[in-house]
Amino acid sequence: MTAPRLLAVSDLHVHHPDNRKLVEELRPGSDGDWLLVAGDVGELTTDIAWALQLLADRFARVVWAPGNHELWTPARDPVRLRGEERYRYLVELCRDLGVLTPEDPYPVWEGARGPVTVAPLFVLYDYTWRPEGATTKEEALRTAYDAGIVCTDEVMLHPDPHPGRDAWCAARVEFTEARLAARPPGLPTVLVNHYPLVREPTWVLTHPEFAQWCGTERTARWHLDYDAAAVVYGHLHIPRLTHHDGVPFMEVSLGYPREWRPRPNPPALPRVIDV
């Protein structure tokens, strides 16, 4: 019998038929496998519910951290909530499905190397990962608009009731730091966030202007401060493994069909977190 594994995936974007088919075919290797889902399951609440229900029915435990796409308010979505209210709606949806969220107690994974605390995070971005030469948020945004590289979040991701996405990010950073500091001592962590916690993974972006929508300087030491055995993230659609201060950072996204189809090997869904 296959030993239980800690698995991770992100950026499923199930509104694409080819991605939806891959998710329909996704199954655990053992009855004890856990699945970490690092955001961007989809945009419509109906698609998000469909995918998380399917995964929760198959895996021993599913842990979800939201991406930016789940937080959009698309015109076609029957749920018209925005910002914080939309996030809270998704948290309750997950709880109804038995899926853990950043608002729930952190579970402990009993791995071959010992137990680790699995911490799903919801931390946005604050425009501090700016393009070269930009010293303010306004300059960074102007550079992106001039280059024609602007994240759809600027139209679709509403920060209500916060005055901006950067203010929402600041509130989430403060909340998350308090939760991580209060976790039971003595165990390493697996930090699961949609965005990379350090900026280095964004250096390979084709359009560096996009990095400002990819994270915040305020999380740069979290992998050290909170004893990370591994960090799991998505968002960039560049699946790979890097190391920062000796800690493995795994980008586990599927991405859009136009991105994964040209790759020489089929998508590795999901990825194994070796802790």
pLDDT tens digit sequence for 3-17: 899 999 999 999 999
Average pLDDT over residues 167-190: 96
Q: For residue 273, which of 214, 191, 197 has the smallest C-alpha distance?
A: 191
Indicate if the pLDDT at residue 112 is higher than 90: no
Indicate if the pLDDT at residue 67 is higher than 90: yes
Distance separating the N- and C-terminal Cα atoms of the chain: 19
pLDDT tens digit sequence for 256-271: 999 999 887 777 789 9
Average pLDDT over residues 142-160: 97
Average pLDDT over residues 191-206: 97
Q: For residue 122, which of 263, 17, 216 has the smallest C-alpha distance?
A: 216
Can you count the helices (H) and strands (E) in the chain? 9, 10
**DSSP string over 112-156:** TTEEEEEEE------S-SPPTT--SHHHHHHHHHHHT---THHHH
The mean predicted confidence, pLDDT, of the chain is: 96
Neighbours of 259 (CB within 10 A): 16
pLDDT of residue 65: 98
- Helix, strand, or coil here: 163? coil
Q: How far apart are CA 258 and CA 3, in angstroms?
A: 34
Q: How far apart are CA 10 and CA 269, in angstroms?
A: 9
pLDDT tens digit sequence for 201-225: 999 999 999 999 999 999 999 999 9
Half-sphere exposure of 92 (CA within 13 A, CB side): 5
pLDDT of residue 1: 55
